[in-house]
Chains A and B, each alone.
Chain A
Amino acid sequence: MKKYAFLVYHKDYLDFLSELQELGVLHVIEKKTGEIEDVALREKFSQIQQYNQLVSFLQKRQIEPAKELKELDGLKIFKEIKELQIQKDQYLQQLTTLKKEQSLLEPWGDFSWSTIDNLQKAGIKARFLSCSARKFSDAWQNSFYVEAINEIKGQIYFVLFEKINEKTEIDAEEITLPRRKLSDVLEQINETNTKLENTETLFDNYAATAIEALIKTKNKFTGEVTFDKVVLNTQKEADDKLMILEGWVPNDKAEVLVAYLEKKSVYYNMYEPSKEDSIPIKLKNNWFSRLFEPIGELYSLPQYNELDLTPFFAPFFMLFFGFCLGDIGYGLLILLAAFYYKPKVKPKIRPILTLGQFLGISTILMGLVSGTFFGINLLETNFLFFPSLRFMMLDSNELMTLALIIGGIQIIFGICIKAVRIILFEGFRASLATLGWIVVIAGCAAVYFLSDFGYIAKESSKNLYLIIGVIGGVPILFLNSPGKNIFLNFGLGLWDSYGMLSGLLGDLLSYIRLFALGISSAVLGLVFNQIAVGLSGDIPVVSHIIMILILLFGHTLNLGLSALGSFVHPMRLTFVEFYKNSGFSGGGLKYKPFIK
Chain B
Amino acid sequence: MEPIILAYIGIGLMVGLAGVGSAYGCTIAGNATIGALKKTPEAFGNFLALSAMPGTQGIYGFVGFFVLQGRLVAEMSWWHAAAIFGAGIALGLAGLLSAIRQGQVCANGIAAIGSGHNVFGNTLIMAAFPELYAILALLVTILINGTLG
Can you name the residue of chain A whose Cβ is closest to the Cβ of B119? Answer: A298
Stretch in B9-17, B27-35, B78-86, B125-133 with 4+ CB within 8 Å of A: B125-133
Question: Is the beta-carbon distance between A516 and B122 smaller than 8 angstroms?
Answer: no
Question: Is the beta-carbon distance between A568 and B132 smaller than 8 angstroms?
Answer: no
**Does A572 have its Cβ within 8 Å of any Cβ on chain B?**
yes
Question: Is the beta-carbon distance between B139 and A515 smaller than 8 angstroms?
Answer: yes
**Interface bracket on B:** 20 to 34
Question: Is the beta-carbon distance between A299 and B63 smaller than 8 angstroms?
Answer: no
- Answer whether A298 and B122 are a contact pair too, CB < 8 Å, given A513-B135, A519-B142, A523-B66: yes
Chain A residues within 8 Å of B131, by CB: 565, 569
Chain A residues within 8 Å of B55, by CB: 561
**Interface bracket on A:** 20 to 34
**Does A456 have its Cβ within 8 Å of any Cβ on chain B?**
no
Chain A residues within 8 Å of B125, by CB: 298-299, 568, 571-572, 575-576
Question: Is the beta-carbon distance between B142 and A516 smaller than 8 angstroms?
Answer: yes
Can you name the residue of chain A whose Cβ is closest to the Cβ of B139? Answer: A516
Quick one: CB contact mask for A483-510 with B, threshold 8 Å, 1 for yes?
0000000000000000000000000001
- Answer whether A510 and B142 are a contact pair too, CB < 8 Å, given A527-B66, A564-B49: no
Question: Is the beta-carbon distance between B52 and A512 smaller than 8 angstroms?
Answer: no
User: With A and B bound together, what is the CA distance between A558 and B149 in angstroms?
Assistant: 31
Chain B residues within 8 Å of A564, by CB: 49, 52-53
User: With A and B bound together, what is the CA distance between A118 and B18 in angstroms?
Assistant: 77
Chain B residues within 8 Å of A124, by CB: none
**Does B120 have its Cβ within 8 Å of any Cβ on chain A?**
yes
Which listed residue, B42, B128, B146, touches A569 by the CB 8 Å rule?
B128
User: With A and B bound together, what is the CA distance between A575 and B127 in angstroms?
Assistant: 13
Chain A residues within 8 Å of B60, by CB: 520
Quick one: CB contact mask for B109-149 with A, threshold 8 Å, 1 for yes?
00000000000111011011101100110110010001000
Question: Is the beta-carbon distance between B42 and A56 smaller than 8 angstroms?
Answer: yes
- Answer whether A512 and B139 are a contact pair too, CB < 8 Å, given A561-B56, A568-B124, A568-B128: yes
User: With A and B bound together, what is the CA distance between A569 and B146 in angstroms?
Assistant: 25
Chain A residues within 8 Å of B121, by CB: 297-299, 571
Within 8 A of A (CB), among B8-63: 42, 49, 52-53, 55-56, 59-60, 62-63
**Does A546 have its Cβ within 8 Å of any Cβ on chain B?**
no
Question: Is the beta-carbon distance between B124 and A298 smaller than 8 angstroms?
Answer: yes
Quick one: CB contact mask for A540-572 with B, threshold 8 Å, 1 for yes?
000000000000000000001100110011011
Which listed residue, A56, A297, A565, touches B56 by the CB 8 Å rule?
A565
Chain B residues within 8 Å of A560, by CB: 52
- The contact sample of 14 A-B pairs, CB cut-off 8 A, is A298-B120, A298-B125, A397-B146, A512-B136, A513-B136, A516-B138, A517-B135, A519-B142, A520-B138, A526-B66, A561-B56, A569-B131, A571-B121, A571-B128
The 6 A-B residue pairs with the shortest CB-CB distance in the complex, in nearest-first order? A298-B121, A572-B128, A516-B139, A516-B135, A523-B63, A513-B135
Binding site for B on A (CB under 8 A): 56, 297-299, 396-397, 510, 512-513, 515-517, 519-520, 523-524, 526-527, 560-561, 564-565, 568-569, 571-572, 575-576
User: Contacts A299-B125, A513-B136, A564-B49 given; 14 further ones with Cβ under 8 A?
Assistant: A297-B121, A298-B121, A299-B121, A512-B139, A516-B138, A516-B139, A517-B135, A520-B56, A520-B63, A523-B67, A568-B124, A568-B127, A569-B128, A572-B125
Binding site for A on B (CB under 8 A): 42, 49, 52-53, 55-56, 59-60, 62-63, 66-67, 120-122, 124-125, 127-129, 131-132, 135-136, 138-139, 142, 146
